[in-house]
Every structure is written in C-alpha cells, then in structure tokens.
Amino acid sequence: MSTEDANAGGGTEPHPNAAQDVVAVDGDDEQTGLVNRLDAHTGEGQRHRAFTALVFDEDGRILLAQRASNKRLWDTSWDGTVASHPVEGQSQVDATEQRLEEELGITPDQYDDLRVTDRFEYKQRYERQGLEWEVCAVLKVTLTDTELDPDTEEIEGLLWADYDLLYENPEWYRQLRLCPWFEIAMRRDQEGNTVADGSVGFER
C-alpha cells in the first residue's frame, strides 16, 4: 500500500522503495520468504503481509487520509487511516506505530489502546497499474490528543467522518473513492466479523 509505489506518470526513475522487500506469507499469515515490493504488486503479484490502522477520536469519528497523487496504486483514494507493510521481524503494532508517526506525526503519547482486531486476505487489481494480494491485519486506536502533522508526500487530505454514517450511508460520501482494504476492514468491523484471536478470515 504505502511506499511500494514507483513514480506515477510514466517516469523512468523508480521510487526508492521499489527496491525494498515485503514479507511473503501463506494463507495463514505464516512467512514463506521475502519478495521485492514492486514484484509483489505487479504481474500476478505475490501474497504478502500488510496492515491497515483505523484511527478514531474520543467522539468515535474515524480519520480518513487521502493517499498522495504520486502513488502508483490507489492514488488520491481515501484510506482509513494508514496502511503499509511490516518489514521482516517487525510486529504489526510496531509497524503501525512507525507509520502513524511518519505519515501523521502521531506519537505513542497520544494514545494507549493500539491493538490488532482482525486479519483477512484479499486480492484486487487497480486499473492497469498493478494489484494488492495481502493478508491484512487491522489495528484500531483512539487518540486522546488529535494534533496532527501530516507528511504531504504520503497524505494529501484529511477528514474526520462519522464512522457509523460512513458505513450505513455510503452514498453520502460518494465523492470519496475509498481504498478496498479499508472498505473490507470497515465492513467486517461494523458487522462484527472481526477475529479477536488474530486468526485469518478470508475475503475472496
């Protein structure tokens, strides 16, 4: 999701992170090796480990973040709130803490309840640019301090939205193109399909 992207717009210089690896996994989220990040998102792709974090305020609103226009996949789409890939040996919680600070300037002293609430597998293509094939962990966190300092290379827009209204009345938000992994995570969360023990639920 975040930072696997090569330059958009047909540039010949690859994004620096295209040379990085992601953790390849089987359907049970067990590591099977490492795969080049760009290779994992092109051609037929390769299943790999990822996470998405749902960030709330104390009134229950969710923070939506618009992916930067330089993203190769789902550019300018709205995510809820950050998403990326842990590196080898990194926990989902540690990876989320890192991305929250790097992308939004959110530090651990602004929350105390970051936790994994679900995990699912999905595969979806994006136009002719590539695809995501991920076992995606879902983490939730509530901010006691909502001060933000977004990195505009990663995020180009922010919006606090009523979580229930977003789920129950998507037509009210039709101007927002939502990332597919966020839509799956929100639906599973709202419909009570989350898996508290961390096992994998499958989305085909």
Residue 103 is assigned to a ligand binding site: yes
Ligand-binding annotation for 48, yes or no, is yes
Instruction: Based on the residue annotation, tell me whether 58 is a catalytic residue of this protein.
Output: no
Question: Parallel, antiparallel, or unpaired for β 31-36 and 48-56?
Answer: unpaired
Q: Which of 4, 97, 134, 154 is catalytic?
A: 134
**What is the per-residue DSSP string for 152-183?**
TTTEEEEEEEEHHHHHH-GGGGTTS-B-HHHH
Q: Has 127 been labeled as part of a binding site?
A: no
Give the CA radius of gyration of the chain.
16
Six-digit token string for 69: 């226009």
183 is in an annotated binding site: no
What is the dihedral angle through the alpha carbons of 37, 38, 44, 45, rounded to the nearest 10 degrees? 20
d(CA 6, CA 17): 8
Residue 41 marked in a binding site: yes
Secondary structure letter of residue 202 according to DSSP: E
Half-sphere exposure (Cβ direction) of 98: Cα atoms closer than 13 Å? 12
Q: Which residues are annotated as a binding site for Mn(2+)?
A: 41, 48, 85, 132, 134
Q: Which residues are annotated as a binding site?
A: 41, 48, 85, 103, 132, 134
The residues assigned a catalytic role are 134
